[in-house]
Structure 1
Amino acid sequence: MRYTIISLAAFAAAAAATPAMAQDQTDPPPAVTISGSVGVVSDYKFRGISQTDGNFAVQGGITISHSSGFYISAWGSSVDDYVTVHGTAHQELDLIAGYKHAFSGGVTLDVGALYYVYPGTKPGFAGDVSKSDFVEPYASVAYAIGPVTAKVTGNYAPKQKALAIDQGLTGAFKKEDNFYLAGDLSVSIPKTPIGLTGHLGHTWGPSWLSGPTSEYTDWAIGATATWKTLTFGVSYVDTDTDFFTPSGKNAAKGGILGSVSVAF
Structure 2
Amino acid sequence: MAAVYEERPSPLVPGAIVWRRTGAPGGPVLPDGCMDLLWVGGRLLVAGPDTRPHPCGDAPGGGARRAVSGLRFAPGAAPALLGVPAHELRDRRVDLADLWPDPQVRALAERMSAYEDPGAGLERLARGRAARSAPPDPLASRVAAGLRAGESVAAVAAVVGLGPRQLHRRSLDAFGYGPRTLGRVLRLQRALELVRRGLPQAEVAHRAGYADQAHLAREVRALAGTTPGAYAAAYAPAGSEAGPAGGS
Highest relative contact order (Cα 8 Å, sep 6+), 1 or 2? 2
Structure of larger gyration radius: 1
TM-score if structure 2 supplies the norm length?
A: 0.27
TM-score for both structures, normalised by structure 1: 0.26
More helix by proportion, 1 or 2? 2
